[in-house]
Amino acid sequence: MTRAITLWIALFFFCAPALAHGDVDLPFNGEWALDPKVIVPVVLSLALYASGIFRLWRKAGIGRGIRHWQVRCFTFGWCFLFIALVSPLHALAEQLFVAHMVEHEILMVAAAPLIVVARPFGAMMWGLPQVLRLPLARLLQSSALASVWAILVDPRVAGLLHALAIWSWHMPILFDAALENSWMHWMQHLSFLFSALLFWWALLRANARQKAYAMSIFVLFVTMLHCSLLGILISLARRPLYASDPSAFGWGISRMEDQQAAGLIMWIPPGIIYTAVALAFVARWMVNASMKPRNYAHGISAPSNGISPL
């Protein structure tokens, strides 16, 4: 476990090559992942967003409609997405289980929440040609899709779908299949990303309503618990769980040490992030709750079935 912690810290500071010993040639040569089914959607999303921002700001004025901070959030979120799926980290993830876990956590707790906070859908709609924009807007506003979307972004449903994606793909049979088949690997990352986008959208957008704070805090707490549990199970397993893991080759560490470090990556950093967000929700909830009686004390009326309290 001590060596696993050392590996985790070394990888965190991008010093993983120092783990090799002697004259062993590492199998990792820093190649970029240029798989078309990955890089095309990633690049297309940026092009669509940038085009939409340009069109909107040219018509409405710079900073209007979509704020500068939203653009910055999307840019950082997209960069995390690019790092996880296209940069040499993706190739390293095929060598080390711990790098694979870092890749997954970047998708779920870094890229996804930043993209959700940016609310990029409006900009992307502006990026579409007008011949596609109007029919798509009508389709998305249909009652059937609105009903389905309302179900998917319920914090309980989104939290459950995210949990199913995490636990299912970490079952040894599915995890090994994803390492051996590029399409399965693509589906794994797609399910992680989209379930995380739903999860963070449900939590961050739902809190526009005061009554949703308690449910969001509960869902965050449950997510922190089950992700920590999975990380603990992986870290403390008595044998390698994933048969296809090739990590021992050329890195000077055993498969068990690699697996322990990967478990720590799933256990500790996401737990810190989920806890921090939950505490922020608690603080916001308390501030909003304290402002209501203060408003009444100062003689500010609040709507109550059309009857003033004064």
Tens digits of residue pLDDT in 129-147: 888 888 888 888 888 888 8
Residue 19 reports pLDDT greater than 90: no
Q: Which of 16-30, 40-54, 164-178, 248-262 has the lowest mean pLDDT?
A: 16-30
Three-state DSSP at 223 gives: helix
Calculate what percentage of the chain has a pLDDT beyond 70.
Answer: 80
Dist CA 242 CA 226 (whole Å):
20
Calculate what percentage of the chain has a pLDDT beyond 90.
Answer: 49
Strand positions, DSSP E, the chain = none
Mean pLDDT value across residues 231-247: 82
User: 81 with 42: CB under 8 angstroms?
Assistant: yes
CB atoms within 10 A of CB 42: 16
Q: Any residues with CB less than 8 A from the CB of 203 and at least 6 apart, and which?
A: 155, 158, 216, 219, 220, 277, 281
Q: How confident is the model at residue 96 (pLDDT cuts 50, 70, 90)?
A: confident
What string of H, E and C letters represents the secondary structure of 95-146?
A: CCHHHHHHHHHHHHHHHHHHHHHHCCHHHHHHHCCHHHHHHHHHHHCCHHHH
Residue 302 reports pLDDT greater than 60: no
pLDDT at 130: 83
Whose structure tokens read 């990303």? 193
